[in-house]
Structure 1
Amino acid sequence: MSRPARRLTRWWRRRSLRTRMTVIAATAIAVSVFVALQVAIELMVGELQSTAKDQLRAESHVVAADAERAGPARVQLPPYPGSGRLVRVILPDGAIRTPAGQPALPPVSEDAWRVARGASADLMESDDNDDDGYFVYTLRVGGGAVQVARAADNSPISEFGLGMLLIGALCVAGGALVGRAVARTGLAPIDRLSAAAVRVAHTRDLDADIPDEGGGEIRRLIRSINAMLAALRESRRAQRLLAEDAAHELKTPLTSLRLNVELLIRLDRRGTLDSALPPESRTRLLDDVGAQVAELSTLAAELTDLARGDVSDESTEVLDFADVVVAAAARARSRVPDVEVALDVSSVRVSGRPAGLQRAVLNLIDNAGKWSPAGQPVGVRLRAEGESAVLEVDDAGPGIDAADVPRVFDRFYRADSARALPGSGLGLSIVQRVVDAHGGRVTVARSARGGALLRVDLPTAAPPAPDAPLAAGDDAAAR
């Protein structure tokens, strides 16, 4: 793109919508007027030329009748009156007669000579010079011919064109004004919509919906913005609930940790730490502090992961879900060595984020491990069913009460039976978020062993395209 074109593009993009509509309206009218002017001039020129030619034919027949009676050499040619028609007689011997005082006509053309010699009966010619063009009509008479000519008069066309140009300029100006008025009227709802949006941005009042007015595109735009405001209200409410729930969940471990640490500090300042706390009690207290710190760390990590939502720098890739499940099981065994994990996995390809999927599987195994009795492994099964990858994680614990099933994936929700167990109530919520982000579904049921069974269904990825077979030459080259 050339530099002037780029400048024009930048100028156009900086213009307001009103200015654009005004320019478009004026341009459309200008183009329409120009096309109409060209068409009108062409029609007028054709009509004037047709009239002039008809008049020439009529005058030529009058002169030809006189020349037929008196003969071309003796016909009387009155002196030129100073304007009007021009007459020329072509004699049989090739001589030319013209009235006295008449301006010189263009030389006789070859076609006109052929008419005089009897090649044809008549001929209409035009000499369209810029200054003094002529229409010349040649009519055969006896052994010669009669020519009658008239100067082409372009003044009516020029006057008509000037008048149309003035009318067009007025139409363009009027079109610009009308376009401006139409733009102002048509964009009034947009102005009110913009003012309402600015007001919402300044006041931070997301509860004030923008009044629904107008129709068509304006109404759809207003409804879209109101839907966006509703989504923002819901997002802010969710953030507030998350902050309130997080503060509530942090309060208990922080209070216990603060009391234990204050006890240690107070005894240390008195110098009675060794005497007041026997080794067994000190070990138990430090273990309690360590467990509370670990719980806080886990809660902070889960809160961070939950607050990030679907925002992740990790790219989506096609992977073997079995590798993710095996890696998650290995991490679960390293974190809680007492929990046994029984794997039964098959290779299933899915499209997803490896770290997110591994976190979801790890949370499922950790959740099942809390409820598994000693000596009872956590069952982890992965298989393909149709176009889905099915992951099942179950335990042999007491299972999930029917009253708790609808809320088991809610943030910070913990059943009454789980209050004494470690955890924040965020693990299954994170599982649901990850599964939803991958277009899957997670459900709760009762396992055959009486405990809880959590099932994850993820869409499988398309199988990789088979490698194209090598041609004979390529195969030989490869060997």
Structure 2
Amino acid sequence: MRARLTLVAVLAAVLAIAVAVVTAYRSVSPLIADEVDRGLADRADTVVALLEAGATLPQRADMTEQLLAPDGTVRPLTAGREPLPVNDSDLAVARGTQTRSETEVTIGDRSYGVLTKARPGGGAVMVGQNYAEVERVDREFLWRTVSITGVAVIVTALISWLAVGRILRPMRRLAHATQRITTTHDLSTVLPDAGRDEIGDLTRDFNAMLAALRLSRAQQQRLVQDAGHDLRTPLTSVRGSAELLQRARGRLDPADETQVLTTLVQEAKALDALVGELVDLATDRHTDEPAVAVDLAVLVEESAQRARRRSGRSVTVELADPATVTGRPQALARCIDNLLDNAAKFSPPDTGIDIHLRGARLTVLDRGPGIDAADQRAVFDRFYRADRTRSTPGSGLGLAIVHDIVTAHSGSVFAAGRAGGGAEVGFDLSGAAHSGAEAVG
């Protein structure tokens, strides 16, 4: 890329210089021609004036002068010079039928510009100027132009090579970092800030992407570690129960066998629920839904009805100016269902669950053991279990899923103890709320 950009810069410089040279040459050439014409006219006037005054004509190395009689006779005025050729126009001037004549002739290997001007009293004066000096100036102009163009191209190429190299240096660092990460899978690389131009923006985006990948990898590793830890308990129980049944081979008491089978079913259900929750966390399937306008009041009522059917509990809903938010309806419904399942799991069987929806802030209140101040943030971590709830069945992923979905909707989660006993757990989607007439982005 560096060579290509340098080549483009050099070609642009050459084109610009060529246009400037051609324009200058075309502008200067008429000026030189006019200057030659004026020189010939001045010389002819000088010759006529000196001849009339009887003065001696000074010689010029680049000039040839002669007198032309009406009969065509030529009298040289410049000793040692070849006479200028005479044509019909020159004779017409000498005979008085024409005032002046301008021609170009070649004598030997030299070109001349010739001016024939009528002389008072008859005849004409012919003045010829050798173009050798003009041609020399022209050649020198072209040579200097080519030399300057060559120097300019070399300097332009050098400056462009250095400048493009400096400009592309952050791009090379970015390319090398990408190659290194691809080869080593090391995401710890952080590129230095490259300025405020487009390359700097690309570098910052690359660093942000690396940070997101590092976070994703760390979350995956933590998820695998936590999942491995939590899977061991039910798997150990299932394996122990299965080995016990295998060794007993019908020799167990019916009551003991029923107990072992019940344990197998319960642990299998726990494993099934845990695997399902792990799949939801690992795949982030809620992100596949398109974002639309979601009426939180409708979601709350539907989730409350499902909770009543599943748990048989009393679920009351209190609405205060419910909001419409931009979000994914199935994912948000999953959040509310998880909050209600969490409340039902930790509440005594004869207690109800309350749902308060104020604007875009939803709170689920229960009468369970409550949440200690030290655990109010940790309850949303994956596989977290407070000391007082470790014996309660569950995967420890329900509130973690709520946290991930709400965070993806630019919202926040919260948990606190409830006055009179119990807990208040919920989320706030005020950042995604909009008026009913507002379009979904």
Quickly name the TM-score band, shorter chain normalised: 0.7 to 0.9
Cα offset, 1:363, TM superposition: 0.8
Instruction: Quickly say closer, same or farther: Cα 1:151–1:184, change in 2 above 3 A.
Output: same
| 241-250 or 308-317, larger mean C-alpha shift | 308-317
Cα offset, 1:393, TM superposition: 1.1
Q: Secondary structure at the match of 2:288?
A: coil
> What's the counterpart of residue 245 of structure 2?
264
Q: Separation in 1 of the partners of 2:214 and 2:146?
A: 59
Q: Secondary structure at the match of 1:382?
A: strand
Q: Separation in 2 of the partners of 1:364 and 1:140?
A: 120
% identity of equivalent residues = 36
Contact 2:331 2:405 (C-alpha < 8 Å) held by counterparts: yes
> What's the counterpart of residue 202 of structure 1?
183
Matched, 1:240 2:221: yes
Q: Secondary structure at the match of 1:403?
A: helix
The structure 1 residue matched to 2:302, chosen from 327, 331, 334, is 327
Contact 2:104 2:112 (C-alpha < 8 Å) held by counterparts: no
Cα offset, 1:434, TM superposition: 0.8
Instruction: Quickly say closer, same or farther: Cα 1:441–1:272, change in 2 above 3 A.
Output: same
Gaps of 5+ in 1: 1-16, 106-131, 467-479
Contact 1:328 1:361 (C-alpha < 8 Å) held by counterparts: yes
> What's the counterpart of residue 315 of structure 2?
341
| Alignment of structure 1 residues 232-311 onto 2, 5 Å | 232-267=213-248, 270-272=249-251, 276-278=253-255, 281-309=256-284
> What's the counterpart of residue 95 of structure 1?
97
Q: Secondary structure at the match of 1:95?
A: coil
> What's the counterpart of residue 59 of structure 1?
43
Q: How many residues align?
A: 409
> What's the counterpart of residue 110 of structure 1?
none
C-alpha distance after superposition, 1:22-76 (max 9, x if no partner): 212312331342144134424532541342243144235346758999xx99899
| Alignment of structure 1 residues 49-448 onto 2, 5 Å | 49-62=33-46, 78=74, 82=83, 95-96=97-98, 155=135, 156-157=137-138, 160-161=141-142, 163-165=144-146, 167-169=148-150, 171-172=152-153, 175-176=156-157, 179-180=160-161, 183=164, 191=172, 194-195=175-176, 197-207=178-188, 209=189, 229=210, 231-267=212-248, 270-272=249-251, 276-278=253-255, 281-309=256-284, 312-334=287-309, 336-345=310-319, 347-384=322-359, 389-448=360-419
TM-score (normalised: structure 1): 0.69
The structure 1 residue matched to 2:14, chosen from 13, 27, 30, is 30
The structure 2 residue matched to 1:463, chosen from 432, 436, 439, is 436
Q: Secondary structure at the match of 1:318?
A: strand
Instruction: Quickly say closer, same or farther: Cα 1:149–1:378, change in 2 above 3 A.
Output: farther
Q: Separation in 2 of the partners of 1:411 and 1:66?
A: 115
* AA aligned opposite 1:429: A
Q: Separation in 2 of the partners of 1:434 and 1:393?
A: 17
C-alpha distance after superposition, 1:179-203 (max 9, x if no partner): 4466557656755664455344333
Q: CA RMSD in A?
A: 4.6
Contact 2:365 2:422 (C-alpha < 8 Å) held by counterparts: yes
| 429-438 or 22-31, larger mean C-alpha shift | 22-31
The structure 2 residue matched to 1:48, chosen from 32, 36, 41, is 32
| 347-356 or 362-371, larger mean C-alpha shift | 347-356
Q: Separation in 2 of the partners of 1:75 and 1:395?
A: 135
Q: Separation in 2 of the partners of 1:454 and 1:137?
A: 113
> What's the counterpart of residue 79 of structure 2?
none
Instruction: Quickly say closer, same or farther: Cα 1:190–1:383, change in 2 above 3 A.
Output: closer
Q: Secondary structure at the match of 1:251?
A: helix
Cα offset, 1:348, TM superposition: 2.6
Cα offset, 1:89, TM superposition: 8.7
Q: Secondary structure at the match of 1:463?
A: coil
TM-score (normalised: structure 2): 0.74
Q: Separation in 2 of the partners of 1:394 and 1:229?
A: 40
Q: Separation in 2 of the partners of 1:138 and 1:457?
A: 104
* AA aligned opposite 2:417: R
Contact 2:286 2:328 (C-alpha < 8 Å) held by counterparts: no
Q: Separation in 2 of the partners of 1:391 and 1:139?
A: 113
Q: Separation in 2 of the partners of 1:309 and 1:79?
A: 110
> What's the counterpart of residue 62 of structure 2?
none
| 165-174 or 245-254, larger mean C-alpha shift | 165-174
> What's the counterpart of residue 451 of structure 1?
422
Contact 2:326 2:434 (C-alpha < 8 Å) held by counterparts: yes
* AA aligned opposite 1:320: D
Q: Secondary structure at the match of 2:311?
A: coil
C-alpha distance after superposition, 1:113-169 (max 9, x if no partner): xxxxxxxxxxxxxxxxxxx99898999989xx9998989998444663355236524
Contact 2:343 2:364 (C-alpha < 8 Å) held by counterparts: yes
Cα offset, 1:246, TM superposition: 0.6
Contact 2:286 2:330 (C-alpha < 8 Å) held by counterparts: no
Instruction: Quickly say closer, same or farther: Cα 1:277–1:152, change in 2 above 3 A.
Output: farther
